[in-house]
Copies of this chain bind each other. A is one copy, B any other.
Amino acid sequence: MRVYFLFFAFLFSFEINAQTNDSIMLRKIYDHYLTESKSYKNLEYLATKIGGRLSGSKKAEEAVYWAKKALYDAGADTVYLQPCTVPHWERGGKEICKVVSPGAKNGQLAVVALGSSTCTPKGGITADVVRVRSFDELEKLGESKIKGKIVFYDVAFDDKLITPGSAYGATVKYRTIGASYAAKYGAVATVVRSMTNVRNNSPHTGNMKYDTAISKLKIPALALSYVAADRICAEFDLFGKVKLHIETFCKTFPDAPSFNVIGEIKGSEKPNEYIISGGHLDSWDNGQGAHDDGAGIVQTIDVMGMFKKMGIKPRHTIRTVCFMNEENGLGGANAYFKEADEKKLKHIAALETDAGGYTPRGFGVDTTKGMHKMVSKWAPLFKPYFIEHIKIGGGGADIGPLEKLGVPCIGFEPDNQRYFDIHHTADDTFDKVNKRELELGASAIGSLIYLIDKYHP
């Protein structure tokens, strides 16, 4: 009985001591980030000096070489450029969209072409608008009502959903495959209400794709700002019909070669086991890609900086992966997966940060290989930093393919109320990023990578 008691007391004190030492270490990690982080300076450069950097563009290439240097500067032992193939789509010029119903005044509406969209014929398209609120409604109207028309998907974010990401999940299909559905019934173009809660005049772009199983026809697809969509609704309310003139200038070029940029610090005990974190280096062309996903890029580049500047020698190999082409193709994600699969690289964990540089709130963690259980045990360590939840299930688009290899995936979850205000718009700029919020996010990510490296068997 007494031996038993002593044994448990020993185990208990061991656990307590471990938590105390880890508490002290996390405090040091946070101190490092809050006083020496390069995240904000790096983001300033990436967002304001390079700016919008869509896959296949000169700016994206510039971002690749910048990331290579930034990873070396942060303290990576090695930096690789991992080849991948990406689409090359260009906007070509500022899109035109006007209400041209008889008697309409001040008809100019704020729009953007959706990524991957084909352009209008030269001189544009002028046609009546059919407004629908669902694919069901589109189907019921059928070819007789839709042929020759511009389909307007008027599906707003549900403001009642607490997480704007859920509202996005519920409506984004009209952006992604709305054009093919409309083309099936003979529509000549589509315009979609922007994916946002915020009532302003900034249109939100984003990728679409033509689904040839639905329709072989490719018609132009655009997004209207919230205000522009409301204007069309007002015209319908007043006159029962709306005629639009739209013209876009976008062009799809042949696929282009590009790169993921991978920095690493070799592990001292298990150099062939990888813990990776990353975001995506590409961004939409219309903004600066500051929150989406410059923030994730600089936060995970900072993981290298943390290990190096704090003199922590990782047991496993720690990688930062700057993925290329998250926005319109996942060329980088697929290339990373392919090499990991072919070379049977052992990944302990993969963390993605692609939800903006806002105040950290928690992590979403896969249950795979006990990862959620392990991370949950550290919840008390994160409490002083107001990281409150360790949810089940996590990841992101770029690390998603690795799930097929059984890699436990983790998504960094910052406060999410402001992300869709600026997502894929000209407003996604450096000045919208708060230095402390960005650094607190970097601290949380760095701390979690540190703990996984320390405790993973």
> Using a CB–CB distance below 8 Å, which chain A residues touch chain B?
30-31, 34-35, 159-160, 162, 164, 197-198, 359, 361, 384-386, 388-389, 415, 417-418, 421, 434-437, 440
Asked if B389 and A418 sit within 8 Å, CB to CB, the answer is: no
Q: A30-B162, A35-B159, A159-B35 are in contact. Are A417 and B388 (CB under 8 A)?
A: no
Asked if A417 and B359 sit within 8 Å, CB to CB, the answer is: yes
For A389, what are the chain B residues with a Cβ–Cβ distance below 8 Å?
Answer: 388
Asked if B440 and A418 sit within 8 Å, CB to CB, the answer is: no
Asked if B434 and A162 sit within 8 Å, CB to CB, the answer is: no
For A418, what are the chain B residues with a Cβ–Cβ distance below 8 Å?
Answer: 434, 436-437
Residue of B159, B197, B361, B385 near A162 (CB, 8 A) is B385
A197-B436, A421-B434 known, 6 other contacts, Cβ within 8 Å: A30-B160, A34-B159, A159-B436, A197-B435, A359-B359, A417-B436
Q: How distant is A379 from chain B, measured CB to nearest CB, in Å? A: 11
A315 vs B103: C-alpha distance when bound (angstroms): 56
For A385, what are the chain B residues with a Cβ–Cβ distance below 8 Å?
Answer: 162
Asked if A160 and B435 sit within 8 Å, CB to CB, the answer is: no
In order of increasing CB-CB distance, the 10 nearest A-B pairs are: A388-B388, A34-B159, A31-B160, A417-B436, A34-B160, A417-B437, A359-B415, A359-B417, A418-B434, A162-B385
Q: How distant is A132 from chain B, measured CB to nearest CB, in Å? A: 23
A361 vs B359: C-alpha distance when bound (angstroms): 11
Q: Could you jot down 20 A-B contacts, CB within 8 Å?
A: A30-B160, A30-B162, A34-B160, A35-B160, A159-B436, A162-B386, A162-B440, A164-B436, A197-B435, A197-B436, A198-B435, A359-B417, A361-B386, A388-B388, A417-B434, A417-B436, A417-B437, A417-B440, A418-B434, A418-B436
Specify the chain B residue showing the minimal Cβ separation from A438. B417
A417 vs B34: C-alpha distance when bound (angstroms): 13
For A31, what are the chain B residues with a Cβ–Cβ distance below 8 Å?
Answer: 160
The count of identical subunits is 2
For A437, what are the chain B residues with a Cβ–Cβ distance below 8 Å?
Answer: 417-418
Asked if B434 and A384 sit within 8 Å, CB to CB, the answer is: no
Specify the chain B residue showing the minimal Cβ separation from A439. B159
For A388, what are the chain B residues with a Cβ–Cβ distance below 8 Å?
Answer: 388-389
Specify the chain B residue showing the minimal Cβ separation from A199. B435
Q: How distant is A318 from chain B, measured CB to nearest CB, in Å? A: 24
Instruction: Among A34, A162, A384, find the residue whose CB has the most chain B CB atoms closer than 10 A.
Output: A162
Specify the chain B residue showing the minimal Cβ separation from A383. B389
For A198, what are the chain B residues with a Cβ–Cβ distance below 8 Å?
Answer: 435
A359 vs B162: C-alpha distance when bound (angstroms): 11
For A384, what are the chain B residues with a Cβ–Cβ distance below 8 Å?
Answer: 162
Q: How distant is A389 from chain B, measured CB to nearest CB, in Å? A: 7
A418 vs B357: C-alpha distance when bound (angstroms): 13
For A386, what are the chain B residues with a Cβ–Cβ distance below 8 Å?
Answer: 162, 361
Q: How distant is A334 from chain B, measured CB to nearest CB, in Å? A: 34
A198 vs B439: C-alpha distance when bound (angstroms): 13
For A436, what are the chain B residues with a Cβ–Cβ distance below 8 Å?
Answer: 159, 164, 197, 417-418
Q: How distant is A70 from chain B, measured CB to nearest CB, in Å? A: 22
Specify the chain B residue showing the minimal Cβ separation from A163. B386
Q: How distant is A124 from chain B, measured CB to nearest CB, in Å? A: 35
A410 vs B197: C-alpha distance when bound (angstroms): 31
Instruction: Among A359, A385, A440, find the residue whose CB has the most chain B CB atoms closer than 10 A.
Output: A359
For A34, what are the chain B residues with a Cβ–Cβ distance below 8 Å?
Answer: 159-160
Q: How distant is A361 from chain B, measured CB to nearest CB, in Å? A: 7
Specify the chain B residue showing the minimal Cβ separation from A388. B388
A440 vs B415: C-alpha distance when bound (angstroms): 13
Specify the chain B residue showing the minimal Cβ separation from A384. B162
A160 vs B415: C-alpha distance when bound (angstroms): 20
Q: How distant is A36 from chain B, measured CB to nearest CB, in Å? A: 10
A160 vs B159: C-alpha distance when bound (angstroms): 36
For A35, what are the chain B residues with a Cβ–Cβ distance below 8 Å?
Answer: 159-160
Specify the chain B residue showing the minimal Cβ separation from A361. B386
Specify the chain B residue showing the minimal Cβ separation from A159. B34
A160 vs B443: C-alpha distance when bound (angstroms): 11
Instruction: Among A30, A31, A434, find the residue whose CB has the most chain B CB atoms closer than 10 A.
Output: A434
For A159, what are the chain B residues with a Cβ–Cβ distance below 8 Å?
Answer: 34-35, 436
A35 vs B197: C-alpha distance when bound (angstroms): 11
